[in-house]
Amino acid sequence: MADGLKLVCAVCGQANRVAADRLAAGPKCGSCGEALADGRVHELDGLSHDKAVRGDDVPLLVDYWAPWCGPCRTMAPEFAKAAKALAPQVRLGKLNTEEHPGIAQRAAIRGIPALVLYHRGREVARLPGARPAADIVAFVQSHRTARA
Which residues partner with 65 through β-bridges?
96
72 is known as an active-site residue: yes
Which residues partner with 17 through β-bridges?
6
Q: Give the strands of the sheet with 41-44, arranged side by side.
A: 41-44, 91-96, 60-65, 114-119, 122-128
Is-contact 57 49, C-beta < 8 A? no
DSSP state of 25: G
69 is known as an active-site residue: yes
Looking at 9, 29, 32, 72, which residue is catalytic? 72
As a whole number of angstroms, the distance between CA 115 and CA 140 comes to 10
Q: Which residues are catalytic?
A: 69, 72
